[in-house]
Chain A
Amino acid sequence: MALELNNNEYQYGFHDSEENYAFKSGKGLTKDIVLSISKMKNEPQWMTEFRLKALEIFYKKPMPKWGDTKLLGEIDFENIFYYVKSTEKQGKNWEDVPKEIKNTFDRLGIPEAERKFLAGVSAQYESEVVYHSLREDLKKLGVIFLDMDTALREQPDIVKKYFATIIPSEDNKFAALNSAVWSGGSFIYVPPNTQVEIPLQAYFRINTENMGQFERTLIIADEGSSVHYIEGCTAPTYSSDSLHSAVVELIALKGAKIRYTTIQNWSKNVYNLVTKRAVAHEDAVVEWLDGNMGSKLTMKYPSIYLVGERAHGEVVSVALASGSDQHQDAGAKIVHVAPNTTSVIISKSISRNGGRASYRGLLKVHKGATNVKSSVKCDALMLDEHSRSDTYPTMEIDEKGVQIEHEATVSKIEDEKLFYLMSRGISEEQAKLMIVNGFMEVFVKELPMEYAVELNRLIELEMEGSIG
């Protein structure tokens, strides 16, 4: 018997008691809260000032006038906890991590993943990173993989050099909010000509009702190096809305390669408003692999600025909008600044059960960026009549002789295909799932095996009961 996955049955919808939390800020956002966050973290003066300046920008900036303005308008900034610290101390070893928190991680399968192939875990529980390990061979390579708070303490110079250089607080209201109250997130620095063979991973999790999570991630791949970072999200269900607003900055220096993979599976009451941006210098490659399965409203457009010659950028995204209370507004932005740069955007969206999936994209070619090649492909699959799919592609081309391919399709599961698969003994439900999985394959095949399996399972869960 197939069950519809709803809020009450959300797979990861367990949560432990909040009584043991070390610190929880009051609701609402004031200068005092920002100051106390910075003080508690014992931050240098420049960061405190940065936060306060960002807070002013946040107050002044209007809400975005595009995207899902209706849902955005429902966010009540006065009714959100901006900082929760779940334990006093960060556990360096697994043994030091409190039992309750361990139980939660156990159910998410984190220790097992660790045993298998984790290079380092930065498991964000609430706003503070509680567990963080780095395998010895990474240390030997000189790779720095820390939570952002620790990085600020231990690597102040390099953090100060790059922090907020790609996404300034002025960028948008939510980037300003993050800049004011950020906590946790990952910091990675890969030294020149160093290849990190194993994906670095972090798990994020929201636990407290009405708690905003504002992690801040900064990855720097120095010249000729390469790194793959994986971020997977899952959150428990609560009755009122949570806000998640991260800022992620990637810097790929000359000849470097960064791949950033996200599987986002927030529960369906989470606002996921994330700013992700990368710069790719000469001969560098940046790839965003962005999977959006959960949340109430996601607005996220990973972007790449191709600032050095021959740089290459790629954004492959999938979105599943399931149910009338879910809107995935996702896409990509590529900005060609330098000549001979190339880019690929592949966007796949699935909407079902009244869900809404939007592709919003920007392709910009600056004057002087000659011999640019770009390919944009957006495919939408709609599983029923009640669902919705929109495409908002924008192109700003200020240079001649650029090669741009653009293709957009909207399709549904054809009866003839179902008949074909069913004539081979495959049930209708399985056939639909097969077609959906096939549709997402371009994304899934890029994932490490464990993630591919997990994602296929998530899709299967979502698809259960899809036959009316």
Chain B
Amino acid sequence: MAELLNIKDLHVEIEGKKILHGLNLKVNSGEVHAVMGRNGSGKSTFSNTLMGHPAYKITKGQFEFAGTVINNLKTNERAKLGLFLGFQYPLSIPGVTVANFLRQANKAIKGDSVSPKEFRKMLYEKMDDLEIDHAFATRYVNDGFSGGEKKRMEILQMAMLEPKLAILDEPDSGLDIDSLKLVAESINKFKKKNPDVSVLLITHYQRILDYIKPDKVHVFVDGNIVESGGPELALELEKKGYDWLTVVK
């Protein structure tokens, strides 16, 4: 399988504070990688850096995406190359409807402009998949949405924008078991329709991995990957916790 993401010796700091220390990671097309770690282990720094958040400064190392070094690309340019970040805490944009937002995003990323009618049809189909009421199309982005609604909205955006690599930052946090199942199923459905898409699933808990089978599992401790393995690693973590890895380090 073709290499999609290649991170070499990545060092990142925010406001002078070093967070990531020499991280290496390769993801091939079509693979699902789970990145697990405690709160504060640098997982969100990692995902924000991948997407080009201006507050995170790369001090050393580089990352290639689809054969291009993207260290210096702006966030929207990365999105156009096929990177997507599902936010842990999606932001509300009052006064901007979901439909308008997604239409502009769709146009920016895919370059083409489908007719409003076609677009609506596409949007409603994906909403049905996620059991999102069509009325959400005319609501303002994440404005007054519940936690679960926001998370499903992120997956809806992923499904609409069809990235090459979806970084999903804790898509399971704050969800009850029904919402979790729904979110996981829609990720699976999207993955099935688009087998070449890679997923970086960042999570705190093993729970979501009961529904989404990762090809690889990485464990994050203190700003670096300290252990990588197959799906069995997640189960081991579930049993033993993170402490044994901290000791190893």
Contact = CB atoms under 8 A, between A and B. Distances in A.
A23 interface: no
Interface residues of B, number: 29
Interface stretch (B64-72, B85-93, B182-190, B226-234): B85-93
Given A415-B54, A434-B96, A424 B109 contact: yes
A422 to B, nearest CB: 4
B51 A423 contact: yes
Contact of B93 (A421, A422, A423, A425): A421
B154 to A, nearest CB: 10
A438 B93 CA distance: 7
Contacts of B51: 419, 423
B54 A424 contact: no
B87 to A, nearest CB: 6
A438 B96 contact: yes
Given A434-B101, A438-B140, A423 B96 contact: no
Interface string A425-440: 1111011001101111
B108 interface: yes
Given A419-B53, A419-B54, A438-B140, A424 B93 contact: no
B157 interface: yes
Given A419-B53, A426-B108, A440 B75 contact: no
Contact of A424 (B55, B105, B140): B105
Contacts of B96: 434-435, 437-438, 441
A250 B121 CA distance: 46
Contacts of A435: 93, 96
Contacts, number: 77
Interface stretch (B76-84, B202-210, B212-220): B76-84
Given A415-B55, A419-B54, A438 B75 contact: no
B75 A419 contact: yes
Contact of B95 (A415, A424, A425, A442): A442
A423 B94 contact: no
A451 B80 CA distance: 33
Nearest to B143: A438
B80 A437 contact: no
A396 interface: no
B165 interface: no
Given A425-B80, A426-B104, A420 B95 contact: no
Interface in A405-459: 414-417, 419-428, 430-431, 434-435, 437-442
Contacts of B87: 420, 423
B76 A426 contact: yes
A425 B109 contact: yes
A414 B80 CA distance: 22
Contacts of B157: 424
Contacts of B53: 419
Nearest to B53: A419
Contacts of B101: 421, 424, 434
Contacts of B105: 424-426
Contacts of B79: 422-425
A250 to B, nearest CB: 28
Nearest to A441: B95
B192 interface: no
B155 to A, nearest CB: 14
**Closest A-B pairs by Cβ, 8 of them:** A438-B95, A441-B95, A425-B108, A424-B105, A425-B109, A422-B75, A425-B79, A438-B96
Given A415-B54, A438-B96, 10 more contacts: A421-B93, A422-B75, A423-B76, A423-B85, A424-B109, A425-B79, A425-B109, A426-B76, A434-B93, A441-B95
Interface of B: 48, 51-55, 74-76, 78-80, 84-85, 87, 90-91, 93-96, 101, 104-105, 108-109, 140, 157, 161
22 contacts: A415-B54, A415-B55, A416-B91, A421-B93, A421-B101, A422-B75, A423-B51, A423-B76, A423-B79, A423-B84, A424-B157, A425-B79, A425-B105, A425-B161, A430-B104, A430-B108, A434-B104, A435-B93, A435-B96, A440-B95, A441-B95, A441-B96
